[in-house]
């Protein structure tokens, strides 16, 4: 019986093997496409897989195993792990709810000032991640302008409540853009059909709208959870005695110089991050909110009942004004000597940033971001083309491995780069064996101090958004257009350059916008890679905050935001539409 079964399975195995060989042969026949695939695989292997593997291997050493037992058995570290999960769940729930509310008001409710609300909701994307925390301390801290100055309350905002507030305000945009895009894609005919059958507005919302949005709600919740537990800047500023894994990893490197301890804690943090990432990809792959009829066929119906319209507008407008107040505080603080202590107008803080010590950080950060942005955009489009248009063994693995660049917390990636690129390292890769990876990308005169490693991190963190944007754009293009070009004698590269690239040009340029904004504002992934020779604005902002020089920190934030806005304006002009950045965020989310 077993022999008979094997004889039945064997032809299928041979057919599958022959198909894989034929697929690779077709790619090999096009030299440029083959070289592109090899370069992409090498890039993913060296810059994403190798640091993660090195970190895991470091945690499996004898010292690492001892630390695992100590950490998992210690009440202190169990509390830190519990704090991390608790904070992640609270921020994910609050951020998803806030994003859903603002998206619903934008798409489904007839209210004024929609454009203002939309623009303000996007502001956290282009601001440093801990700018909100710094402003919140000045407004609601122990001597806050509002908590103490208006209400006379000495409120201790440090800890879980403060972290939940600032992280929610920092990351709700992810949920907002994701859910807004999904709501706009819903077919209004579904609501019309339910109304014609006698369903009330509440029942339509509960039984039609929400079920169609469940994948987006779940995906947003998981993404915000990962962002929250991986965040470093806000817990350093706002955490107080409430410790989380990211800050403990930071202390292990900066304070204790113990890379093994940092690797062990990173593996502990990596487990929930990867688990959430896998669950999200599985969920998205098995669900869809697109109706079977394709394009929306009905007329969107807006809520105009006063009992629905104005309460939702009041809440959405309160959030909008609150965000304006936060960033208004940053702007005002950059022009005053000491906000709430000495409100005399001054340009000293900008002079410090532009003409003093901060000028180097501003120049280095902008230059490195400019270098990383086009590389990330091109790599993202190339991987998107390979994943969406070519069939070969390992295509899904390439997609998954590339997305690890954003799924793996930045602190973990930074630790991996320290272990791999700071000195010659040997790592063991599946099917390859033990290899020596490139040494000293973070040190040495040949590679400009930490600049090379920082550029690589910028690229790794930006490519996933460009990939998703490219795949989404390619999915809307009929493959027969490319097939016709190839049948007329054009090769794959010529077809991509003449046919595909012009059609996905908006996605390509919007990927550049995201890459530049992400590079300018990131902190957790590069904080361990900076050297005295390479200064980064986000790290300088953090240094100023930790030293209590809030005016300098706010000036840094204002200049950083202006640089990003100028870059977005230039790229938006190149795109020819103002929606490029929005499409990128929807694809990234």
Helix (H, G, I), strand (E, B) or coil at 525: coil
- Paired with 345 in beta bridges are 336
In a domain, 279, yes or no: yes
Interaxial angle between packed helices 358-389 and 505-521, expressed in degrees from 0 to 180 and rounded to the nearest 10: 140
* Exposed / middle / buried, residue 309 (Cβ in 10 Å: 0-12, 13-18, 19+): middle
Distance CA 403, CA 399 (A): 6
Q: Is the CB of residue 491 less than 8 Å from the CB of residue 32? A: yes
Find the helix or strand (DSSP H, E) in which 436 lies.
strand 433-437
Domains held by the chain: number? 2
Domain shared by 322 and 427, yes or no: no
Domain shared by 161 and 265, yes or no: yes
In degrees and rounded to multiples of 5, residue 337 shows phi and psi of -60, -60
What is the predicted pLDDT for the residue at 8?
52
Domain shared by 320 and 356, yes or no: no
User: Dihedral through CA 298, CA 304, CA 310, CA 313, nearest 10?
Assistant: 20
In a domain, 32, yes or no: no
In a domain, 8, yes or no: no
In a domain, 543, yes or no: yes
Domain shared by 274 and 372, yes or no: no
Q: Is the CB of residue 550 less than 8 Å from the CB of residue 340? A: no
What is the predicted pLDDT for the residue at 336?
93
Q: Is the CB of residue 247 less than 8 Å from the CB of residue 269? A: no
In a domain, 11, yes or no: no
Distance CA 457, CA 451 (A): 10
pLDDT tens by residue, the chain, 589 residues: 444 554 555 555 555 555 556 666 666 667 777 888 889 999 999 999 999 998 999 998 999 999 999 998 899 999 999 999 999 999 999 999 999 999 999 988 889 999 999 999 988 888 887 788 889 999 998 888 998 888 888 888 899 999 999 999 999 988 898 788 778 777 676 666 766 676 777 777 777 777 878 877 887 888 889 889 988 889 988 888 899 999 999 888 888 888 899 999 999 999 888 888 887 777 666 655 444 444 445 556 777 888 888 999 999 999 999 999 999 999 999 999 988 888 899 999 999 888 877 788 889 999 999 999 999 988 998 898 888 877 777 788 898 899 888 888 888 888 888 888 765 444 444 444 444 444 444 443 334 457 888 999 999 999 988 887 788 777 767 777 777 877 777 777 777 778 877 777 777 777 888 889 889 988 888 888 887 778 889 989 988 988 888 999 999 999 999 999 898 888 777 755 444 444 444 444 4
Distance CA 354, CA 299 (A): 52
What is the predicted pLDDT for the residue at 13?
55
Helix (H, G, I), strand (E, B) or coil at 579: coil
The strand ranges marked E within 360-432 are 425-429
Helix (H, G, I), strand (E, B) or coil at 257: coil
Distance CA 353, CA 284 (A): 44
Domain shared by 273 and 396, yes or no: no
* Exposed / middle / buried, residue 380 (Cβ in 10 Å: 0-12, 13-18, 19+): buried
Domain shared by 515 and 421, yes or no: yes
Domain shared by 178 and 146, yes or no: yes
In degrees and rounded to multiples of 5, residue 310 shows phi and psi of -75, -35
In a domain, 299, yes or no: no
Domain shared by 235 and 88, yes or no: yes
Phi-psi region of 152 (alpha: psi -120 to 50; beta: other; left: phi over 0): left
Give the β-pairing of 342-345 and 336-338.
antiparallel
What is the predicted pLDDT for the residue at 24?
60
Measured CA to CA in angstroms, residue 519 lies from 127, 175, 226, 461 at distances of 11, 21, 19, 8
Q: Is the CB of residue 333 less than 8 Å from the CB of residue 145? A: no
Farthest CA pair distance, the chain: 91
Helix (H, G, I), strand (E, B) or coil at 109: strand
Q: Is the CB of residue 456 less than 8 Å from the CB of residue 441? A: yes
Domain shared by 389 and 436, yes or no: yes
> Within the chain, how many helices (H) and strands (E) appear?
27, 4
Distance CA 143, CA 149 (A): 7
Domain shared by 334 and 401, yes or no: no
Cα distance between the two ends of the chain: 51
- Paired with 303 in beta bridges are 109
Q: Which domain holds residue 496?
A: 347-589
Phi-psi region of 439 (alpha: psi -120 to 50; beta: other; left: phi over 0): beta
Prediction pTM value:
0.82
CATH code of residue 270: 1.10.3720.10
Q: Is the CB of residue 265 less than 8 Å from the CB of residue 252? A: yes
- Paired with 525 in beta bridges are none
Domain shared by 98 and 246, yes or no: yes
Measured CA to CA in angstroms, residue 182 lies from 46, 97, 179, 205, 513 at distances of 35, 15, 5, 15, 22
Domain shared by 374 and 340, yes or no: no
Buried b (16+ CB within 10 A) or exposed e, 129-139: bbbbbbbbbbb
Q: Is the Cα torsion angle 302, 308, 313, 315 positive or negative in sign?
A: negative
Give the β-pairing of 342-345 and 425-429.
unpaired
Enumerate the H helices of 430-549 as residue ranges: 451-474, 479-487, 492-495, 501-503, 505-521, 537-546
In a domain, 224, yes or no: yes
In a domain, 448, yes or no: yes
DSSP track, 291-330: -TT-S--S----B--HHHHHHHHHHHHHHHHHHHHHHHHH
Helix (H, G, I), strand (E, B) or coil at 423: coil
């Amino acid at each position: 019986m077993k022999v008979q079964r094997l004889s039945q399975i064997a032809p299928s195995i041979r057919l599958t093997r022959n198909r894989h060989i034929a697929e690779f042969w077709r790619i090999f026949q096009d030299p440029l496409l083959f070289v592109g695939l090899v370069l992409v695989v090498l890039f993913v292997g060296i810059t994403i897989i190798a640091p993660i593997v090195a970190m895991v291997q470091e945690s499996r050493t004898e010292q690492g195993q001892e630390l695992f037992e100590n950490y998992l058995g210690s009440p202190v570290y169990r509390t830190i792990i519990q704090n991390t999960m608790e904070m992640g769940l609270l921020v994910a729930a609050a951020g998803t709810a806030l994003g859903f509310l603002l998206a619903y008001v934008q798409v489904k409710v007839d209210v004024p000032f929609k454009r203002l609300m939309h623009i303000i909701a996007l502001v956290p994307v282009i601001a440093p991640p801990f700018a909100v925390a710094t402003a919140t301390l000045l407004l609601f801290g122990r001597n806050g302008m509002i908590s103490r100055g208006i209400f006379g309350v000495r409120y201790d905002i440090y800890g879980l409540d403060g972290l939940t507030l600032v992280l929610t305000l920092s990351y709700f945009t992810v949920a907002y853009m994701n859910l807004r895009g999904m709501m706009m894609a819903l077919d209004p005919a579904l609501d019309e059909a339910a109304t014609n059958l006698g369903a009330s507005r509440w029942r339509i919302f509960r039984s039609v709208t929400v079920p169609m949005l469940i994948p987006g709600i779940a995906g947003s919740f998981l993404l915000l959870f990962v962002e929250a537990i991986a965040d470093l800047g806000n817990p350093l500023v706002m955490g107080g005695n409430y410790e989380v894994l990211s800050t403990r990893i930071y202390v292990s490197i900066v304070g204790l110089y113990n890379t093994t301890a940092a690797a062990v804690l990173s593996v502990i943090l990596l487990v929930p991050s990867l688990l959430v990432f896998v669950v999200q990809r599985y969920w998205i792959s098995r669900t869809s909110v697109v109706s079977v009829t394709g394009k929306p066929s009905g007329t969107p119906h807006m809520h105009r009942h006063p009992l629905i319209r104005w309460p939702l507008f009041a809440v959405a407008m309160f959030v909008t004004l609150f965000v304006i107040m936060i960033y208004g505080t940053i702007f005002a603080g950059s022009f005053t000597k000491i906000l709430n202590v000495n409100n005399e107008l001054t340009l000293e803080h900008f002079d410090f940033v532009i003409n003093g010590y901060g000028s180097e950080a501003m120049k280095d950060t902008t230059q490195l971001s400019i270098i990383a942005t086009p590389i990330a955009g091109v790599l993202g489009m190339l991987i998107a083309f390979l994943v969406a248009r070519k069939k070969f063994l390992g295509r899904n693995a390439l997609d998954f491995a590339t997305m690890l660049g954003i799924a793996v917390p930045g602190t973990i990636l930074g630790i991996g780069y320290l272990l791999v690129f700071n000195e010659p390292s040997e790592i063991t890769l599946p099917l390859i064996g033990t290899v020596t990876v490139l040494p000293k990308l973070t040190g040495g005169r040949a590679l400009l101090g930490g600049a090379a490693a920082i550029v690589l991190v910028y690229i790794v963190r930006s490519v996933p958004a460009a990939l998703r944007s490219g795949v989404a754009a390619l999915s809307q293009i009929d493959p027969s257009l490319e097939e016709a070009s190839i049948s007329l004698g054009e090769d794959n590269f010529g077809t991509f350059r003449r046919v595909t690239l012009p059609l996905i040009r908006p996605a390509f340029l919007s990927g550049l916008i995201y890459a530049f904004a992400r590079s300018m504002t990131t902190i957790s992934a590069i904080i361990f890679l900076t050297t005295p020779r390479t200064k980064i604005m986000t790290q300088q902002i953090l240094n100023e905050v930790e030293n209590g020089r809030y005016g300098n920190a706010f000036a840094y934030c204002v200049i950083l935001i202006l640089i990003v806005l100028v870059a977005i304006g230039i790229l938006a002009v190149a795109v020819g539409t103002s929606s490029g950045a929005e499409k990128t965020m929807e694809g990234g989310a």
